[in-house]
């Protein structure tokens, strides 16, 4: 049995056209015949039910894109009747721009690779990071006069992974505690590297190409050029996902605290991984994701971005504050991204600092959230919390923990320089 069904347009043309034609002939009104003529012609033209069997397919079932990137979703409809058209509608979703918003009507042949086929291309632009399943698109086919309809039939919706944007971080400041074996940080100890340390007498095992001939000739003893070893740093990006403060309206609009945290984490991870450092992330307050162990390389960046997509803030509460320290040793650079709304975040920062870990708190509270002038109980409670928050950040600063508001890629430059300068200062830590 064919799926073609007559439409209201067909009914309209048949009923009005033939009735007016008959009435005109019966009462002898030529103008009625003229008025009925177009509808009768349309009726005759589309009298026959199409005998084709359309098929609609979409090659895209899963896609990974960046926030704000525009991609084309495509559906191919084959088996359209001659002169037929197809309507393709992709459903809208929150924080997803669909263009054309109300669907697309394409013609068989002219809009397709061959007769009887049409290709519909609809632009999709995700406005926020995350992993989502898009709604099921629908396709309906019509004959040339919209008198017969096939469908609408649903197509498989697409699984879309939207990676957070990674705006380039132009930061030349070094990480404070390089510890690994490879990388581009200058280590504290001499070794194989590129950065000059000193000229010293030749020793067993020194390479001949390191001999400094001018000094050797002047002193009469072989001297070599010693360098600092090049090593990497362990950077831990800690994300406070207990709360998502503020409203998110996409990449072009307002940003919530979670938006700022995720995008900042992506930027920081990309920056340090490109320098050859080992980067790991740890998320607090999100159920599906907890941590990505530290590693280096571009694959690690992709692993981190994929993990950041999965964060659903506020889905796990009451985690042990000591969990922040697991796997992090002294010398690790910990970058805590938090709006500092939950007291647990401040507690974790203090624990990390006591363990000798360099912590930089990156404040992700959206700008303007601190100013609350309402008189409702909620507004008063928020104002009290903001006052407490101010006290807590002052206490953190007194402990030597920098609290930097995230204002883009350059937020950390001066802080990292200060930490590098401070690393030579001896201090007591709890082991």
Residue from 18, 29, 319, 323 touching other proteins (CB under 8 A): that is 29
Residue from 2, 6, 11, 380 touching other proteins (CB under 8 A): that is 11
| Binding piece for other proteins, criterion CB under 8 A, among 19-27, 172-180, 185-193, 389-397 | 19-27
Under the binding rule (CB under 8 A), the answer on residue 19 touching other proteins is: yes
Least distance to other proteins, CB of residue 3, Å? 16
Under the binding rule (CB under 8 A), the answer on residue 401 touching other proteins is: no
Least distance to other proteins, CB of residue 402, Å? 36
Under the binding rule (CB under 8 A), the answer on residue 96 touching other proteins is: yes
Alpha helices in 197-297 (DSSP H): 213-219, 257-274
Those residues with Cβ within 8 angstroms of residue 64's Cβ, 6 or more apart along the chain or in another chain? 160, 161, 162, 163
x/- track of binding to other proteins for residues 247-286 (CB under 8 A) = ----------------------------------------
| Main-chain phi, psi angles of 34, to 5 degrees | -65, -40
- β 96-99/55-57 pair status: unpaired
The token duo for 83 is: 């002169």
d(CA 333, CA 423) in angstroms, rounded, equals 11
- Give residue for tokens 């084959």: 78
Under the binding rule (CB under 8 A), the answer on residue 37 touching other proteins is: yes
Least distance to other proteins, CB of residue 125, Å? 8
Least distance to other proteins, CB of residue 354, Å? 42
The token duo for 66 is: 């960046």
Residue from 52, 56, 77, 87 touching other proteins (CB under 8 A): that is 87
Q: Does residue 418 have a cis peptide bond before it, meaning omega lies within 30 degrees of 0?
A: no
* C-alpha distances out from residue 134 to 111, 131, 217, 422, Å: 25, 10, 74, 50
Say whether 297 sits in a helix, a strand or coil: coil
Under the binding rule (CB under 8 A), the answer on residue 36 touching other proteins is: yes
The C-alpha angle with vertex 60 and arms to 58 and 61, in degrees rounded to 5, equals: 105
| Binding piece for other proteins, criterion CB under 8 A, among 93-101, 280-288, 326-334, 418-426 | 93-101
Contact at 8 Å (CB) between 83 and 110? no
Residue from 85, 169, 237, 279 touching other proteins (CB under 8 A): that is 85
Under the binding rule (CB under 8 A), the answer on residue 182 touching other proteins is: no
Least distance to other proteins, CB of residue 316, Å? 24
The token duo for 127 is: 């406005």
Least distance to other proteins, CB of residue 254, Å? 12
| Binding piece for other proteins, criterion CB under 8 A, among 24-32, 345-353, 381-389, 405-413 | 24-32
Residue from 77, 78, 83, 300 touching other proteins (CB under 8 A): that is 83
Burial bucket for residue 428 (CB in 10 Å: 0-12, 13-18, 19+): exposed
Those residues with Cβ within 8 angstroms of residue 254's Cβ, 6 or more apart along the chain or in another chain? 246, 247, 248, 366
Residue from 32, 163, 187, 224 touching other proteins (CB under 8 A): that is 32
d(CA 87, CA 83) in angstroms, rounded, equals 14
Query: Half-sphere exposure of residue 153, counting CA atoms within 13 Å on the CB side?
Result: 18
Least distance to other proteins, CB of residue 116, Å? 10
Under the binding rule (CB under 8 A), the answer on residue 63 touching other proteins is: yes
The token duo for 189 is: 């100890």
Report the site for other proteins in 102-161 (rule: CB under 8 A): 102-107, 109-111, 121-124, 140, 142, 144-147, 149
d(CA 271, CA 230) in angstroms, rounded, equals 17
Residue from 20, 56, 273, 344 touching other proteins (CB under 8 A): that is 20
* C-alpha distances out from residue 268 to 274, 278, 396, 418, Å: 10, 12, 22, 18
The footprint of other proteins on this chain (CB under 8 A) covers a number of residues equal to 70
Under the binding rule (CB under 8 A), the answer on residue 72 touching other proteins is: yes
Binding site for other proteins (CB under 8 A): 7-9, 11-13, 15-16, 19-20, 23, 27, 29-39, 41-42, 44-45, 59-60, 63, 65, 69-72, 74, 81-83, 85, 87, 89, 92-96, 99-107, 109-111, 121-124, 140, 142, 144-147, 149
């Amino acid at each position: 049995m064919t799926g073609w069904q007559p439409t209201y347009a067909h009914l309209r043309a048949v009923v009005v056209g033939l009735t007016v034609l008959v009435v005109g002939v019966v009462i002898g009104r030529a103008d009625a015949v003229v008025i009925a003529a177009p509808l009768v012609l349309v009726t005759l033209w589309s009298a026959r039910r199409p005998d084709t069997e359309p098929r609609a397919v979409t090659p895209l079932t899963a896609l990974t894109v960046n926030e704000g990137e525009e991609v084309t979703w495509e559906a191919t409809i084959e088996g359209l009747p001659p002169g037929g058209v197809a309507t393709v509608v992709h459903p809208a979703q929150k924080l997803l721009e669909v263009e054309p918003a109300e669907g697309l009507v394409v013609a068989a042949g002219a809009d397709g690779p061959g007769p009887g086929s049409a290709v519909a291309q609809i632009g999709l632009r995700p406005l926020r990071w995350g992993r989502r399943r898009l709604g099921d698109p629908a396709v309906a086919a019509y004959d040339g006069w919209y008198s017969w309809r096939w469908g609408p039939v649903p197509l498989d919706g697409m699984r879309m992974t939207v990676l957070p944007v990674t705006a380039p971080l132009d930061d030349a400041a070094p990480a404070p505690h390089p510890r690994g074996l490879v990388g581009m940080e200058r280590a504290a100890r001499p070794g194989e590297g590129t950065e000059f340390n000193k000229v010293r007498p030749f020793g067993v095992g020194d390479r001949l190409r390191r001999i400094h001939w001018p000094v050797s000739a002047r002193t009469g003893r072989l001297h070599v050029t010693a360098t600092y070893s090049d090593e990497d740093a362990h950077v831990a990006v800690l994300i406070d996902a207990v709360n998502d403060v503020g409203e998110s309206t996409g990449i072009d609009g307002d940003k919530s605290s979670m938006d700022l945290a995720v995008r900042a984490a992506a930027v920081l991870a990309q920056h340090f991984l490109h320098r050859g450092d080992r980067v790991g992330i740890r998320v607090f307050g999100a159920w599906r994701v907890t941590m990505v162990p530290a590693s280096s390389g571009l694959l690690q960046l992709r692993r981190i971005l994929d993990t950041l997509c999965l964060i659903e803030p506020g889905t796990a509460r009451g985690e042990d504050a000591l969990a922040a320290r697991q796997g992090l040793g002294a010398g690790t650079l910990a970058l805590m991204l938090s709006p500092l709304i939950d007291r647990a975040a401040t507690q974790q920062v203090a624990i990390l600092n006591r363990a000798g870990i360099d912590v930089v708190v990156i404040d992700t509270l959206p700008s303007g959230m601190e100013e609350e002038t309402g008189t409702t109980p909620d507004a008063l409670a928020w104002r009290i919390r903001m006052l407490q928050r101010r006290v807590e950040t002052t206490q953190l600063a007194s402990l030597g923990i920098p609290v930097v508001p995230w204002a883009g890629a350059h937020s950390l430059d001066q802080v990292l320089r200060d930490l590098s300068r401070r690393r030579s200062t001896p201090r007591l830590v709890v082991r």
